[in-house]
Amino acid sequence: MKFPRPYTLKEVADIIKADYVGDDNFLIYGTNEIHRIEKGEIVFVDHPKYYDKAIQSNATTILINKEVECPSEKSLIISEDPFRDFNLINSYFRKFEKQEEIISSDVKIGEGTTIQPGVYIGKQVKIGKNCIIFPNVTIHDFTEIGDHVIIQSGTVIGGDSFYYKNRGDSYDRLKSVGNVKIENEVEIGSNCTIDRGVTATTIIGKGSKLDNLIQIGHDTIIGKKCLIASQVGIAGCCNIEDEVTIWGQAGFASSLTIGAKAVILAQSGVSKDLEGGKTYFGYPADEARKMLKELAALKKLGK
d(CA 31, CA 78): 16
> Of the candidates 131, 84, 86, 75, which has an alpha carbon nearest to the alpha carbon of residue 107?
131
Q: What is the largest CA-CA distance in the chain?
A: 75
Q: What is the DSSP string of 173-217?
A: EPPP--EEEE-TT-EE-TT-EEEPPSSSEEEE-TT-EE-SS-EE-
Using CA atoms of 6, 51, 175, 74 in order, give the dihedral in degrees to the nearest 10.
0
- CB of 194 within 8 A of CB of 149? no
Residue of 35, 47, 148, 218 marked catalytic: 218
Q: Is 47 a catalytic residue?
A: no
Q: Are 123 and 108 spatial neighbours (Cβ–Cβ below 8 Å)?
A: no
**Residues with Cβ < 8 Å from 179, sequence gap 6 or more?**
141, 142, 143, 144, 158, 196, 197, 201, 202
- The catalytic site residues sit at 218
